[in-house]
Amino acid sequence: MTIDYSIVIPVYNEEKNIEDLHSKILKAMSSINSTFEVIYVDDGSYDKGMDVLLSISKNNPDVKVVQFAKNFGQTAAISAGAKHSRGDIIILIDCDLQNDPDDIPRLIEKIKEGYDLVSGWRKKRKDPWFTRRLPSVIANFLISFVTRVKLHDFGCTLKAYRRGIFEGISLYGEMHRLMPVYASWRGARITELIVKHNPRTAGRSKYGIGRTFKVLLDLFAIMFFGSYSTKPIYFFGGFGIFMTVCSVISGIVVLVEKYYLPDAPAHRNPLLLLAVFLFLIGFQMVMMGLLAEILMRTYFEVQDKPTYVIKSKVNF
Ligand code: UDP
Ligand code: MG
């Protein structure tokens, strides 16, 4: 049995925010006449958050809780929440009230226009400039430039996705931020919507500047996987064949000089060394391509493996 909307919320030490957020979500959703569920994923919190979650999910089958055995990170929490959801549309939102639940009906309106992914854009972002907004502007520019997916705010959690987008995608590291890239590669229609943003009033931010570098490394990894993953031997093998051809040319030059030039013994010709070097490197490159093929196939075949461990589940 499916329902219309699943609201998925990663929670890590947000005891002071959960109740407030929950009542705002209920209020926002009461304005639309549809079925929905709210899935909280407790990402190994060590505050009283889990008690709050148990009390709001008690006697309410549409509020579900997945509790992780330890902190596996926001991306793992999102991926577990999506996997346990039933909604045709999955809406992600942060637990800290920096995103405004009143924007959820607006995202839904946009999805109904036929889009597969509606991305929130925190145009007036209420975070520190130097450690957050500046790195984010640079990262968003780079991601757009490299992937050609034009969005202003990849990092905004508040986004609505058609269910299909999550199917067949495994998320690692900080990769939930790059979902629009995967989605667009698979032909999704994507649009952007300006959303409200508030400063954090309770609890602390869980991230520092280090996250920007992780996101950039993830970008590098998915670009490689996106363009060469299915055929790494073309990437390495291309170099390999080029080197081998250079080696053969160099070897022919050595032989020609030896037999047709007076006084040009092959063993004193530096081109002989070059020919041997290039041949070895070329051969190794092709072999590396084969190894990469094996790795890549393993990678794709084990994709079902989850990146988290679940301790308990409520209302499933
Ligand atoms: N979060 C999580 N696991 C983590 C870190 C964060 O589930 O390891 C959740 C956190 O509770 C919040 C959301 O992810 O709901 C965004 O975190 P935060 O507000 O700290 O990030 P920021 O808004 O500062 O980028
Ligand atoms: Mg926040």
Question: Ligand 1 in contact with 94 (CB < 6 A)?
Answer: yes
- Kindly state if the Cβ of 12 falls inside 6 Å of ligand 1: yes
pLDDT on residue 191: 97
Atom of ligand 1 lying closest to residue 127 CA: 24
Is residue 95 within 6 Å of ligand 1 at its C-beta? yes
Please give the pLDDT value at position 117. Answer: 97
pLDDT bracket for residue 267 (50, 70, 90): confident
Mean of pLDDT values over 247-261: 95
| pLDDT on residue 12 | 97
Q: Has residue 226 got a pLDDT over 80?
A: no
Let me know: does 12 contact 74? Beta carbons within 8 Å: yes
Provide the mean pLDDT of the chain.
Answer: 92
Whether residue 66 has its Cβ less than 6 Å from ligand 1: no
Atom number of ligand 1 nearest to Cα 71:
8
Backbone φ and ψ for 211, nearest 5 degrees, come out as -60, -35
User: What pLDDT, on the 0 to 100 scale, is given for residue 234?
Assistant: 85
pLDDT at 167: 85
- Does the beta carbon of 74 lie inside 6 Å of ligand 1? yes
For residue 148, what pLDDT band results from cuts at 50, 70 and 90?
A: very high
pTM of the model: 0.82
Nearest alpha carbon, ligand 1 atom 2: 74
